[in-house]
Amino acid sequence: MATITDVSKRAGVSRSTVSRLIAGNGYVSDEARKAVEAAIQELGYRPNTMARGLRSNRSDIIGGVVVNVSSPFYAQMIGGMQETARSAGKSIIVASGYADREEEARAIIELLDRACDGLILYLENALRDDVLEIVARSKTPVVTVGGNECPPARARVTIDNASGAAAGMRLLLDKGHRQIAYLSGGTIYRDTHERLSGIDAALAGFGLSRNDIHVEHGSFSETFGHEATARLLIERPDITAIFAGDDDVAAGALLALKAAGKLVPEDVSLLGFDDNFHARHLTPGLTTVRQPVDEAGRVATRLLLAILDGEPVAPVITIPTELILRHSIGPVRGLSPTSRHVAPALTAS
């Protein structure tokens, strides 16, 4: 490969002049510019990233940690990050944290070793103290997305879980549902608490409180949705609507409902969260609260780029959710929600 010295020799100028031209700072005469540009063209010169990085201490690489690179949910976020980073001439290296504290620590260290200009973290655990120390010492700017808070972060992108959950719950209440189960993900997630507070708000608007619904904590998985729903169908046959912690939970719930011969939404209404890739492919199409995760990736990257440019940025940016209406929610069957009489059986449609 041609080096900057080759170019400078060919163009009859010094390395400094070539460097100035490329960097676009400092003075370069028209004459020199033309000669250098021609030399670059002829030699097919491309600057050596390592040398540049070594000297200037920039890698033009942004590091990202997500829970799992293979998952469609995070893939979308990565897509958003990459798109934005590319327009600024930066690349992205992502690592998976597998929602495990040690793995997350390892991933961050790995990225730091790569001399990333900045980090975008979607973590599920608090950072290990020693890692926190290392991150701080490296002075690498950090932006976090979703998940839990993380001290060294200069900015934080959150998805508006509270309003999303509130909107979802309000929809169910509007449709007359009162016997509602909320199948929550784990309580270790900040998301969970935010959503619960949104749910509380929605309930309060109807003169109700969290005690008036059935809340169950499990994990964000299809298995939990399936098991919890199967159990509920026995223990709480009066329930008319299930609000799932995410679309995976909803998919599990749907399976259990179908297995029990229940019709959705005629017998039980079902509401998801996320708008995962497969939400629209379920039957019936899942009504769900969309988390615009690709947008979150874009915003986080934009924030990080701004920080790298030394611009001031808002410490928290909240991205609104959107209620996606499909076909898994219907009006409560039978009697009006206030009186508590037994409803007549509905015929299947």
Partner DNA sequence: ACTCGACATGAGATCGATCCCACATATCAG
Partner DNA sequence: CTGATATGTGGGATCGATCTCATGTCGAGT
Site of interaction with DNA (CB under 7 A):
1, 3-5, 12-17, 19-20, 22-23, 26-32, 45-48, 51-52, 54-56
Measured distance CA(118)–CA(69) in Å, rounded: 19
Count residues contacting a second copy (CB under 8 A)?
48
Q: How many helices (H) and strands (E) does the chain have?
A: 12, 12
Measured distance CA(102)–CA(143) in Å, rounded: 20
Residue 28's binding partner among DNA, a second copy, none (Cβ under 5 to 8 angstroms by kind) is: DNA
Q: Could you say whether residue 282 binds a second copy (CB under 8 A)?
A: yes
Q: Which is nearer to a second copy, 101 or 193 (by Cβ)?
A: 101
Q: Could you say whether residue 294 binds a second copy (CB under 8 A)?
A: yes
Residue 236's binding partner among a second copy, DNA, none (Cβ under 5 to 8 angstroms by kind) is: none
Closest to 106 in 3D by CA, of 90, 85, 123 = 123
Q: Which is nearer to DNA, 60 or 83 (by Cβ)?
A: 60
Q: Are 334 and 344 in contact (CB under 8 A)?
A: yes
The CB-of-158 to a second copy minimum distance in angstroms stands at: 21
The CB-of-343 to a second copy minimum distance in angstroms stands at: 26
Q: Could you say whether residue 295 binds a second copy (CB under 8 A)?
A: no
The CB-of-134 to a second copy minimum distance in angstroms stands at: 7
Helical packing angle, 190-205 and 161-174, nearest 10°: 40
Residue 82's binding partner among DNA, a second copy, none (Cβ under 5 to 8 angstroms by kind) is: a second copy
**What does DSSP say about strands 287-290 and 322-324: parallel, antiparallel, or unpaired?**
antiparallel
Residue 92's binding partner among DNA, a second copy, none (Cβ under 5 to 8 angstroms by kind) is: a second copy
Q: Are 65 and 122 in contact (CB under 8 A)?
A: yes
Measured distance CA(92)–CA(129) in Å, rounded: 25
Which amino acid, residue 349? S
Report which DSSP code applies to 96. Answer: E
Measured distance CA(71)–CA(93) in Å, rounded: 16
x/- map, 236-275, a second copy, by CB under 8 A: ---------------x------x-----------------
Residue 265, classed as helix, strand or coil, is: coil
Applying CB under 8 A, the span of 14-22, 132-140, 155-163, 198-206 interacting with a second copy comes to 132-140
Q: Could you say whether residue 114 binds a second copy (CB under 8 A)?
A: yes
Q: Which is nearer to DNA, 139 or 341 (by Cβ)?
A: 139
Q: Which is nearer to DNA, 59 or 269 (by Cβ)?
A: 59
Q: Are 282 and 61 in contact (CB under 8 A)?
A: no
Measured distance CA(284)–CA(254) in Å, rounded: 9
139 CB neighbour count, 10 Å cutoff:
7
Applying CB under 8 A, the span of 23-31, 91-99, 199-207, 312-320 interacting with a second copy comes to 91-99
Helix (H) or strand (E) holding 1: none
Report which DSSP code applies to 188. Answer: T
Residues that bind a second copy (CB under 8 A): 1, 44, 46-51, 53-54, 59, 61, 68-72, 74-76, 78-80, 82, 86, 91-96, 109-110, 112-115, 134, 137-138, 251, 258, 277-278, 281-283, 294
